[in-house]
Amino acid sequence: MKPFEAEELILRIKNIMARAAQQHTEREDLPKDGTIKIGKYNFDPAKLELRLAGNTQKITDKEARLLYYLYYLYSNRNQLIKREDILQHVWHKTDFFSRRSMDVFVTRVRKRLQDDPNISIDSVRGIGMKFKIKTQK
């Protein structure tokens, strides 16, 4: 083990505590109980599960927060969601690294929802995206 300064140790502990506090705050954004119907899927934010026809996918906290945000705020409005709004709400920051992270998570959520052709997350270059759920007839 390398020797280190006490100031560095204190800084590292503060950083760890700040990350833990942020993760705790992020989890409070999700409902604690119940499932949400999204197209053919049943989404359980508390358990971080996405279910379809007896198959259960475990999803990450960030995927759950992104899906919950897109669904509750925009699925029935068919309107454009600005990238900055998603970044601010889900990532709590709008820097370059958060933007790249959001792109990765949007791709992951699209893949998780691919078994329902009535659900789409469409990108609008340079502006944001639209989350759509087509109603079945």
Q: How confident is the model at residue 9 (pLDDT cuts 50, 70, 90)?
A: confident
Contact yes or no for 124/113 (Cβ under 8 A): no
Q: What is the mean pLDDT of the chain?
A: 84
Q: What is the pLDDT of residues 80-136, one digit of tens each?
A: 889 999 999 898 888 888 899 999 999 999 999 999 999 999 998 888 888 888 876
Residue 5 has pLDDT above 70, yes or no: yes
Topology of domain 6-133, CATH: Arc Repressor Mutant, subunit A (1.10.10)
Share of the chain above pLDDT 70, in %: 82
Give the SS3 label for residue 71. Answer: helix
Residue 32 has pLDDT above 90, yes or no: no
Q: How far apart are CA 132 and CA 129, in angstroms?
A: 10
Residue 137 has pLDDT above 60, yes or no: no
Question: For residue 94, what pLDDT is reported?
Answer: 85
Question: For residue 24, what pLDDT is reported?
Answer: 47
User: What does pTM read for this prediction?
Assistant: 0.72
Q: How far apart are CA 118 and CA 29, in angstroms?
A: 26
